[in-house]
Every structure is written in structure tokens, then in C-alpha cells.
Structure 1
């Protein structure tokens, strides 16, 4: 009888210990879940659409507070680059019913990078504890891209947007004096064509927060060219030293384009010969 009573007490003690252990585990799990939900926002939703040597762009939404602009931070190769609110217009997000308003996009200008492969990561910032705690949550996944480098960097930031049989256009900004309008020179097939100041309006640079004002564009009219493939190079003139040494720095990289037969124009020499023949 005594053995039976002792065995019963042992069984009850074991039962209580098991129940207590389960209760402790559940309590710890609840506390851990509460901390996670407080420190990490499970309602962030977004994606990095593209990353290259020119920009990193995408979108992010806080589903718990869709009207609030999420702070986005860009890291390249593990190094912090910039932080900005995700409030750029993205009408495609509204069209696909991911959001009720379009102000959820982010657009970062890629800084000067060495030639080779790089990794871009964009994080959404979540504040908790009345702003005392800030946690970073990865948007989408890491984005790998390759750049060929830019000889104009780090003195200038710019790009040749397009080159064709009609025109060559792009933009350039002096990193040291953003209000200045640098001189740019166009070469086609290694032949000097024209020089002018980069002061054409480019409101897209202001919208993308690349520049404080829009007067940083350049536009060259393509001269008469023969039918076939051609190469355009745009250089920015960099003056340095007390004697104002002038150094040409290539903007981005050479741009190749094709001139078709219908687009080719007679050269000045050909026009002169045609004029002489007609006068005879």
C-alpha cells in the first residue's frame, strides 16, 4: 500500500513537472513571438526590380500602414550608400492591386564603383520601442550586377542615354560643384565633332534626386554619316591645377549605333560635288 501511494505521488509530481515545462515553453514562445512582432515588421512587402551601374530601383509597402512612407536603405557590397523614403510614383503597383496609392517606389543612383561584379541589398527600416529600436529587413533578395567602371568618376556623375543617326544625348554633373555646367565634347569614330556646355533641362534628374536643378543635360545633333556602324564617345572636360590643365574624361562608355541607308546623309564634300555638277 505504501509503495502504491509513493508511486502515485511520483506520477503526480512527474505530471506537474511536465505541465510546468510545457507552460514555460509556451510562455517563452509567446514572449519571443511578441518581441519578433515588435522588432520585425511582418507586413513589409516589396521587391528590387533592377540594379546596375546607373541605379537601384524597386518598391516596398508596409501593409499594416499603407499610407506611411517606408524608409529604404541601400547597401552595395555590404557598405551603406544612402537612405531615403520610398515615395516615388509606381502606378504599376496600383494597377496590380498591390497598393491603393502609387507612392511606394524607391530610386537610388548607383555610386562610383570599380569594374567587376557587385551586390546590391535594399533594406526596409522598422522602428519599435518608440523609436529606440531600429531593425533592417531585406527587401526581396540580394541583386547582383556587373559594371565596367566609369573613368569620369569620381569627379563627375553622368550617362550617355542614347546615340543614333539623329542625335547623341545624356547628362553630366560635377560632383564637386553640382551647380556648374561642365563642358562636354562629342567624338564620333574618334573624330572631334562639337563642344558645348551641359546645361540642357533634365527634370528627370531632379525627380530622381540625382541633382538639385535640372540644367545638366547635353544634346548633340549627329552630323552626316555614312551607312553602317559608328561609335560615339562623349567626354567631360576636367580642369585641374593652378594652370588649368584640361583633361578629357570619358562619360560612361563608348556607345555604338547603326546608320541605315535611309538615315545616311551626304557629307559636305559630296554635297559640294553635287552642287558643282548641277551648276554645270
Structure 2
């Protein structure tokens, strides 16, 4: 089998130069890069190994986006932008890793799957699809063109015929990539491909006729050799002089077009895989370091990459997406969106600043430069000592000084609950004056600013008066402001076996004093004073103290009771309802459902029920499909008396409820003696014969 492959490979060496001749001119959707010149073509270094064998150079979404950009719309289903194609699955071998295929894959999926499996750049595959059959820019390729998509197994000496075993987009892409890897004689294969091997000067023909002559080419890498094995001709001077057109009768265009198209679409095929760029300026300012420059990732020139700015050990990521027309003119294939500028915060003093260009995939970087700069303190600084809710709003206390104009008092801007208040930091703070004698003591602030009910963020910013920028003083504080009317909460609101328990807290935002709470039970009111210690409330509202708790335990007869709790306004305003609801006093019935059995003509149930609030027999309601029947729990149950001595022995129930033949839902309830919630003893589904 290896001999067959080797023999066939020697035929494949003569790839489709004649097709390439037909594609010598630029396609309609391809931008012409005027800066590209045939004099830059290096016959011995057409593309670097790093770029050729980078199987992860593009993701499927990036390939799809690229195809979308080349063709606005398609005229048939074969167009690479939106066509669907088959790809066979392949096991791993010396050339490619294992590959999972499919019967309806996009061109982007096929290109990237093959690229990853065979370590061939999707960019190389895209360029080859274009140079061989103009498929990237074709709006409606024919079936014949799709069959020979990469020109694989379509040698020039076969009069345009291709081996049908390798026909189709999926086959063509895979086997072309496989063959490119085979040209490198990987471990596990024979050392067959040697005539264009890198490291020596190789005589390469200009075209098929030997009369056109050859050129001595010093092949420098495996990728360039692979291109010559695939298309074994080098462009002559005439072809290079008319880079976007035709040369003379001995001109061949395949490798020229590969180099030209790759350069136009993706940048220089021989460029370093690392990003390029410049650091135009590093300037130390007031509390900031300003950096400016540009960067391009040659492996993804159309995408905006980033730079990492290090000020000493602190890093900041900056996206290089600003318009730089000068960069666009110098690198037309990349566009202009590659500039960056940023202000990086820095403390006053001397700092070493280094800027690194980072590739789009984050895997590679280039040092653009380092510089030591001095940063001055030109912005306000200070401290917020406290921010807490008080009657009338939020009290904020602290101090602020402008670094480059220390003597004059400055303003501070307080934002609380979306409302902005400006204060003058001119109050005497002798402690501040002792620490900063040059500034003096007149830099304090202490005022009540408006707030809104509820929890809100409070930020205090020193307003800059000279060089520098406004500076937030300290961290943002979270302050809860009580409503300007009674506010509170209930921790307990429940009935017990003998009564009702209510507890909670209450506060009125207008005063720090305890307020009254009224509790009404069935219309009868009781006055409480919310003055019990609640340390949790004291922590939330430190200016109001902790004396805002209340509690009540009242005796009440078994049964339902209406209970309402009100906070009493300290200024005689409206009294909000904390809660008004029904509370059940007493015990709920207990019981058990032992059996639900289908019998002839009905459903038999058996169990027990007891209500600790009464000595009377507990009624038990049995519902069959929503229709109820009542039983009495008065049967002998010694086991119940043993478990609950207070219940006595006569707490069992049993009976049969009529039901027609068929499936029925049965639910059984113990009825509360006080009119409270009934206890569900259980539900079953039975089928009556």
C-alpha cells in the first residue's frame, strides 16, 4: 500500500498550474493591496512553517465570518458561504490525527476540522481553494468545480481529469492537507519526498515545457517545499512584474497566486507569528501613566488584538481597536483599527512601565518597549469616617485635601440613592492638620444629605481643582435608611396551643426614640412600646440605637383569631400595617390512614384521628373523586391510646364509601374541632371492580 501511495504522490507532484493560469487576475471581491510588490516574493521562503502548519489559526466562526465577507449572496447551494458538504471520518495516521466527519457540514466546519486534525492552517486551505478554483469568491460554483476544489489528484498531464476517488469538497480538503503533511516525510513513513527538500538549492521549472527553463531556488523550509511538491513551478520575472495579471508564455502562477492571496487576506505569510507594533509615548501624569501606540497580530491582521501595560507589577489590558490611518496605510491588509491609548492609574513616584503586544489568541506576545516615568500626585485624597442613616437623611463625615492645592478647601460630591449633594470640606479637623501641617486643619466635612428609603450605595468624591482627576474617597458604603414613617418587621406571628405570640421590631425614620406598636386581637387593641434591645437593628441603624424591639404573648381560646399589628407614627401621621392575618390557636388534628381498599361497589377506608383540643369524637371526611362522606373516629384503637394516653382508646375509624366500578382518587381528612385547618391523613388511587 505504501508503494501505491508513493507512486501516486509522484503524480500529484504535478498539480494544477493550468488552473492557476486562469486565476491570474484578481477576483471581483478581492481587495488589491497596492503596497504588495512582486519584488518581495521569496522563491525559497514562500510561507513560514509556523504559519503553514498552524492548524488552530482560525476557528470555525472566524472562517465563516471570512467567507461571509467575501461573498454578499449566493446563487446556488454550492457556494462556500452557505453550502453543506460531506466529510468522511478518518482514523489517525502518521499525517493526521483522528477526524470525525459528517454528511451535512459547512465549509467552515470542514476547513477547521481538517486543519486541527492535520495541523494545516485554515488560512492555507482557504487560499488554496481560491487559487485552484476561485471557490472562496464564487457565488455559484458548478458541481465539476466543487469536485476538484483543491486541485488534489488533478495533475496537469491528465488533460484536466481528476481521480474520482478524491472528488468533493470534504475529500479534496482532507486529502490535500494529508498530502501536505506527507511531503514532510513524517516519522512512520518513508523518506520519499527529497527533490525539493529544504536546506539546498533546487532546480525548479518555470512551467510545464522544459524549454522554459529552471531556476535555482534555495528552499528554506518544509512549508515552501510542500507548496512546490503540490505545484512544482516557480513564477518567472514576467509573472512577478505583473503581480495581479499575466506574464508571458513561460509564466506559471500557482505559487505566486498563493503568496499574493495569502498576503492580501492574512498579511505576510513569512512574518513572525508574534505581534508587531510600536510604543509611541509613555507619559507620567497626575496619578496616571498614559501610553499610546499600535499593534497588529500578523496571524489575524483583520482582528483587533490587545496590549498589556505593566506599571511595575500591576497590569492592565487595553484593546488596540482605535483608528490609526497611518497604520492602515502602512499595512493595508490589516486595516486601521489597531491603535491603543490608555491612562493607567499609578501612585505618585517613579515607575517602570512596560508594554507588551499580545496575539489575538493570547498565546504570543512581543515587547513594545519599557520606560521609567515619574507620576505626580495631582488629585484629591482623603477619607470618609462614617456614613449612616439619621433622622432626615444620611450623615457623612470625613475630610478631603487637593494634593496640588493644599491650602484652599475643596468640594466633595456625595451620591446617595441616586441623589447628588455637593459639600464644602472646610470644617476644622485638627487631627488632619497635625498629619498634614502644610495643608492646615480646614478640610473636614460633616453634613446630613438626602437619602431614599431602603438600602443604597453612598460614594464620596473629592472634586479636583487643578491638575489631576476627581478621586473617590474610600470605598462605597452601603447604608440602609429607614422610612420617614414607621418601618419594621415581624419575626414571630403565630398561634400556640394556648394563645398568640407576636414579636418583631419597629422604627420611625423621623426619630431615634422608640415608637409604639399596637396589636389588635379580634378587634381588641394592646399597646406595646418597641424599646426592647435588638442588637441586629442597632448594627443596621447605628445612629438610632438598638432599643427598637417588641414582643407580646396573649392567651386566647382555641380557634381562629384575627390579629393585626400596626406601627404608630411618631408625628401623628398614618400608621402602616405591619401584618393583618388569621392566626389559629390550638392543636391541629392528628391521625393516620392505615388502608384504602377497593371493594365490590365501593371503597373501604381505615385509620385513626384525634384532636388534643377536645375530648369529642373527631369527624373524618372521605372524598372519592371530590364527593365527600363523613365517618366518626370512635372505634377501639388500643395502639393509639398507648402512643397518646390523653387520646383514649376510642379514636379509630373505618367504613365503606359507595363508588362505581373504575379508577378513583380517594382523600381522607381529620376535621379540626376549632374550625382551623383540617389535617390531610392521606390520598390514594384505587380501582373498584
TM-score band (shorter)? 0.3 to 0.5
TM-score (norm 1): 0.43
TM-score (norm 2): 0.19
